[in-house]
């Protein structure tokens, strides 16, 4: 008589899939996330790639991971520590041991825990013993052997069969958390529709993993996480890079302009170029440039010609674009520069996250070269801030830099697909063909934006370039007083953007003992830490910035209501120092981390307690 299956209901779970770069951990995590979304859970993910393209197989440096945090209520972070770790080899166990909760489940491919695999990972003894896992639920599953067994009747070669071993691990976790197989099987049908053997192999191995978990006493009970209560609507799983691209597309539609993207591929921003290049059906013109300089120069040319010009990059590429950004400032042309920040300096850590490009975005150009700077804070609101970056650029005739980072660019969340009627119109400054006495630097009284004349407009011929311009005519001017006047007005034009950005909001009480301040992609962890401490009765609140230059108009008012202010960021204190310049009436404490990793809610809470 079979034993009745015990099912335990949980509020939230964190799972980390980990193995070699070639083990398919990113796909495995993505499929689990998608299935959880379709079941109705909220979730947040953290893909963690090795920085080396071809790190030696079986070594800690080559470990690739994907963490997903799913739950019954709203999820803001991928989680600090895992409830379940899937380690496809000893190196994956070694790399992730410190991120496991006490008593968590550890699923290992016991076939890879041979002498060769143990030695490559840097162990000199049994990793299970070395890592003191006696108090964890360790499940040693011969994943490689059972994968071969599942596909042996198909007559495919061993190498092809072994490519699906990640599906065995996925099947085990699907059983463990009561996830259906059908959504993943439908993915196989679509992804490999021209390769029926691959479809069948993956299906067989997925079911084999599911059935193996079902028959194992060690894996009982199984668990379930109820669907989250979310607003009605159409949802999809989206990462920050996709959301950024689509936000730009939405802005082009609202502005009634064709979108042009001129970019050079660079980790972790390349997906933005790929997403936009795929939208020829929406009129996108894309150019994969030979280098970063060519990318932004073609964008400036496209803007001059009347298109919505966009270029995407990461920190090293932004450095190369700096002179051309100055040209866009001088010419007062609307372009959007997206910088997906990564670890630096120089080549740095291409696949790791950081917030150390803030000063570069604010000041990284010669001369007085002001631009508007925005920062997205979640994968999904990359859409909104990309839209706003374009709206500001087009309505104020200025370059705008949008900062995201590797964490939110690659991380995913469920996104409610918006209706375009809910987004504001975008008014361009294109001069009317009937306008008489056109002067290229005549300005709108409120915004100081100049009018935008396009090539071919009769009677609207004008000069444009990198040399200083006459205040009205646009002809080259070396007059000292004119240069002062133009410098002042370019700066004031950026500052007047404050009139169209929202006020700074506070999460929690409007006054208290401690105000936590953050910006950009640290939002989820800061919000989680603050909320948890508020639930413990602590008097602290969160003010998170998406608009960096200019700062929201009520910034000083918000800061004045708190006894202490602590600024948390993934650099050595760039935003804190910026606030010391712009809001000098206050003392700012700092909490900084520069490890290529996001904050954890645990370390943030420990830090905040010191100031309460």
How many angstroms separate the CA atoms of 252 and 414, rounded? Answer: 24
pLDDT digits (tens, 9 = 90+) for 73-126: 999 999 999 999 999 999 999 999 999 999 999 999 999 999 999 999 999 999
Beta strand extents in 40-144 (DSSP E only): 42-48, 63-71, 82-87, 100-109, 137-141
The structure tokens 């082009």 sit at 252
How many angstroms separate the CA atoms of 186 and 146, rounded? Answer: 23
CB 273, CB 289: distance < 8 Å: no
How many angstroms separate the CA atoms of 506 and 525, rounded? Answer: 15
The structure tokens 């609202």 sit at 254
How many angstroms separate the CA atoms of 188 and 201, rounded? Answer: 10
Res. 161 pLDDT band, cuts 50 70 90: confident
Picking from 402, 426, 77, the residue whose alpha carbon sits closest to that of residue 272 is 402
Residue 418 is classified by DSSP as P
How many angstroms separate the CA atoms of 577 and 356, rounded? Answer: 13
What is the pTM for the complete model shown?
0.94
458, two tokens: 């009769």
Asked whether the predicted pLDDT for residue 569 surpasses 80, the reply is yes
Helix (H, G, I), strand (E, B) or coil at 290: coil
Mean pLDDT, residues 255-281? 98
pLDDT of residue 436: 84
Write 529-537 long-range contacts (CB < 8 A, 24+): 529/599, 529/601, 529/604, 529/605, 529/608, 530/608, 531/507, 532/601, 532/605, 533/605, 533/608, 533/609, 534/508
Asked whether the predicted pLDDT for residue 496 surpasses 70, the reply is yes
How many angstroms separate the CA atoms of 607 and 612, rounded? Answer: 10
pLDDT of residue 4: 54
How many angstroms separate the CA atoms of 379 and 247, rounded? Answer: 12
Structural domains in the chain? 7-225 (3.40.920.10), 236-422 (3.40.50.970), 506-609 (3.40.50.920)
CB 112, CB 49: distance < 8 Å: no
Q: Is 533 exposed, middle or buried (0-12, 13-18, 19+ CB in 10 A)?
A: buried
pLDDT digits (tens, 9 = 90+) for 180-213: 999 999 999 999 999 999 999 999 999 999 999 9
72, two tokens: 């019954």
Query: Which positions ≥6 away from 25 have C-beta within 8 Å?
Result: 17, 18, 19, 64, 65, 66, 88, 166
CB 402, CB 335: distance < 8 Å: no
How many angstroms separate the CA atoms of 212 and 221, rounded? Answer: 14
415 - beta bridge partners? 236
472, two tokens: 């009205």
Res. 218 pLDDT band, cuts 50 70 90: low
Angle formed by the axes of helices 196-215 and 143-151, nearest 10°: 130
pLDDT digits (tens, 9 = 90+) for 522-563: 999 999 999 999 999 999 999 999 999 999 999 999 999 999
Q: What is the mean pLDDT of the chain?
A: 95
Asked whether the predicted pLDDT for residue 2 surpasses 80, the reply is no
67-96 burial, b for 16+ CB within 10 Å, e for fewer?
bbbbbbeebbbbbbbbbbbbbbbbbbbbbb
Mean pLDDT, residues 467-473? 93
How many angstroms separate the CA atoms of 215 and 209, rounded? Answer: 10
How many angstroms separate the CA atoms of 212 and 146, rounded? Answer: 9
With pLDDT > 70 as the criterion, what percentage of the chain qualifies? 99
Asked whether the predicted pLDDT for residue 330 surpasses 80, the reply is yes
The structure tokens 């708190």 sit at 562
Asked whether the predicted pLDDT for residue 53 surpasses 80, the reply is no
For 511, what's the count of Cα atoms within 13 Å in the CB-facing half-sphere?
5
Q: Where are the alpha helices (DSSP H) in 115-164?
A: 115-120, 127-130, 143-151, 158-162
How many angstroms separate the CA atoms of 244 and 180, rounded? Answer: 31
**Cα torsion angle, 98, 101, 107, 113, sign:** positive
CA 604 vs CA 376, 512, 529, 586, 609: distances in Å: 20, 18, 6, 21, 9
How many angstroms separate the CA atoms of 84 and 292, rounded? Answer: 41
Res. 434 pLDDT band, cuts 50 70 90: confident
Res. 466 pLDDT band, cuts 50 70 90: very high
The structure tokens 């669907």 sit at 227
Mean pLDDT, residues 149-162? 87
pLDDT of residue 1: 41
In angstroms, the first-to-last Cα distance of the chain is 58
Asked whether the predicted pLDDT for residue 220 surpasses 80, the reply is no
């Amino acid at each position: 008589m079979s034993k009745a299956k015990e099912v335990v209901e949980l509020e939230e779970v964190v799972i980390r899939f980990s193995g070699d770069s070639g083990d398919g951990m990113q796909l495995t995590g993505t499929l689990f996330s998608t299935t959880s979304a379709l079941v109705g859970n909220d979730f947040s993910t953290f893909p963690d790639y090795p920085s080396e393209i071809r790190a030696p197989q079986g070594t800690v440096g080559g470990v690739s991971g994907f963490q997903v945090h799913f739950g019954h209520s709203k999820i803001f972070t991928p989680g600090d520590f895992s409830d379940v770790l899937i380690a496809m080899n000893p190196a994956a166990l070694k790399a992730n041991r410190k991120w496991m909760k006490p008593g968590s489940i550890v699923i290992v491919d016991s076939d890879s825990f041979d002498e060769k695999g143990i030695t490559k990972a840097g162990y000199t003894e049994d990793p299970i013993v070395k890592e003191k896992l006696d108090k964890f639920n360790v499940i040693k599953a011969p994943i490689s052997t059972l994968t071969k067994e599942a596909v042996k009747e198909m007559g495919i070669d061993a190498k092809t069969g072994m490519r699906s071993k990640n599906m065995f691990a996925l099947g085990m976790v699907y059983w463990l958390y009561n996830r259906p197989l059908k959504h993943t099987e439908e993915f196989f049908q679509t992804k490999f529709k021209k390769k029926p053997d691959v479809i069948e192999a993956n299906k067989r191995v997925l079911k084999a993993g599911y059935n193996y978990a079902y028959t194992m006493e060690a894996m009982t009970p199984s668990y379930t996480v109820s669907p989250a209560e979310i607003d009605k609507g159409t949802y999809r799983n989206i990462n920050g890079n996709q959301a950024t691209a689509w936000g730009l597309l939405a802005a082009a539609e609202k502005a009634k302009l064709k979108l042009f993207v001129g970019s050079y591929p660079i980790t972790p921003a390349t997906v933005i170029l790929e997403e936009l290049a795929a939208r020829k059906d929406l009129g996108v013109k894309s150019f994969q440039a030979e280098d970063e300089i060519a990318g932004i120069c073609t964008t400036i040319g496209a803007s001059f010609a009347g298109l919505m010009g966009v270029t995407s990059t990461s920190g090293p590429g932004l450095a190369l674009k700096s002179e051309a950004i100055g040209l866009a400032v001088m010419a007062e042309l609307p372009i959007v520069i997206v910088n997906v920040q990564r670890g630096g300096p120089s080549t740095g850590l291409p696949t790791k996250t950081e917030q150390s490009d803030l000063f570069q975005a604010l000041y990284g150009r010669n001369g007085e070269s002001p631009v508007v700077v925005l920062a997205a804070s979640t994968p999904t609101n990359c859409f909104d801030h990309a839209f706003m970056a374009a709206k500001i650029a087009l309505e104020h005739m200025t370059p705008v830099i949008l900062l995201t980072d590797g964490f939110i660019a690659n991380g995913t969340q469920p996104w409610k697909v918006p209706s375009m009627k809910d987004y504001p119109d975008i008014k361009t400054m294109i001069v009317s063909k009937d306008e008489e006495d056109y002067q290229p630097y005549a300005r709108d009284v409120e915004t100081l934006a100049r009018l935008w004349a396009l090539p071919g407009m009769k009677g609207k011929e004008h000069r444009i370039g990198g040399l200083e311009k006459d205040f009205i005519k646009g002809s080259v001017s070396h007059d000292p007083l004119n240069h002062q006047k133009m410098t002042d007005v370019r700066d004031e034009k950026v500052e007047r953007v404050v009139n169209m950005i929202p006020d700074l909001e506070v999460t929690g009480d409007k006054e208290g003992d401690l105000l936590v301040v953050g910006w950009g992609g640290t939002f989820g962890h800061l919000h989680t830490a603050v909320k948890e401490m508020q639930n413990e009765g602590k008097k602290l609140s969160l003010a998170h910035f998406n608009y960096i230059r200019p700062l929201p108009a009520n910034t000083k008012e918000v800061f004045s209501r708190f006894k202490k202010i602590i600024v948390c960021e993934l650099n050595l204190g760039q935003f804190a120092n910026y606030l010391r310049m712009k809001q000098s009436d206050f003392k700012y404490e700092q909490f900084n981390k520069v490890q290529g990793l996001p904050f954890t809610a645990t370390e943030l809470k420990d830090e905040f307690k010191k100031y309460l």
